[in-house]
Chains A and B, each alone.
Chain A
Amino acid sequence: EIVLTQSPGTLSLSPGERATLSCRASQSVSSSYLAWYQQKPGQAPRLLIYGASSRATGIPDRFSGSGSGTDFTLTISRLEPEDFAVYYCQQFGSSPLFTFGPGTKVDIK
């Protein structure tokens, strides 16, 4: 099983600042199959990034993804008030077919 580790657990930032979130895999993950989601309290997750770096439909360009192999990054260039949420990475390809990281909470400093 591929285990995804996310860091930091919590990121305290101010609006307008840059957020850098890390997702590390216990084994190599195909870049084609690494995704990022945003979840706000009481809501379902929303797909942000797929294929490690492609933005999903309607996602603002302040969100970007990068990385390969075992190290992936989600960057929010300038935090907007609506960006404070929990972010999960997810991989596809190893049994179990889909696993999620434990999440990074981005909260207001």
Chain B
Amino acid sequence: QVQLQESGPGLVRPSETLSLTCAVSGGSISSDYWSWIRQPPGKGLEWIGYIFYTGSTNINPSVKSRVTLSVDTSKKHFSLDLSSVTAADTAVYYCARLKIRGGNFDSWGQGTLVTVSS
């Protein structure tokens, strides 16, 4: 069973870039789509974007100008960069496996809280 683990700084200063990595284990990174989803404290879920192992991406228009997704198949991880962050970007960030044929997220990391504050 695939397992996902997010890693990265828990605190980012306003206007800087939030960078997170998701390590994939127990399965092949080259056979699925991989996604980032976030959840502000006490609020609902927002899909950020997905990446295929080839590097093909699709990103939510609400953050498209600020988001870069990348994948490293040799290291079995994929990454999120979110630039020019503000307090509104404070959230728990989840990585998840996307089953594109069904359009659902069947495996999730435990999530990592990123706070944007000076």
The residues of A with any CB-CB pair to B shorter than 8 Å are 32-33, 35, 37, 43-47, 50-51, 56-57, 88, 90-93, 95-103
Q: How far is the CA of A21 from the CA of B61 in the complex (A)?
A: 29
A45-B47 CB under 8 A given contacts A32-B103, A98-B103: no
Tell whether, in the assembled complex, residue B102 and residue A103 are in contact, meaning their CB atoms are under 8 Å apart: no
Whether, in the assembled complex, B25 has its beta carbon less than 8 Å from a beta carbon of chain A, the answer is: no
Whether, in the assembled complex, B108 has its beta carbon less than 8 Å from a beta carbon of chain A, the answer is: yes
Please tell me the number of chain B residues within 8 Å of chain A, measured between CB atoms: 22
Tally inter-chain residue pairs, CB-CB below 8 A.
64
Of A88, A90, A102, most buried by chain B (CB within 10 Å of CB) is: A90
Secondary structure dominating the interface of B: strand
A56-B106 CB under 8 A given contacts A44-B111, A96-B61, A96-B62: yes
Q: How far is the CA of A50 from the CA of B96 in the complex (A)?
A: 15
Q: How far is the CA of A98 from the CA of B111 in the complex (A)?
A: 19
Which A residues are in CB contact (< 8 Å) with B108?
44-46
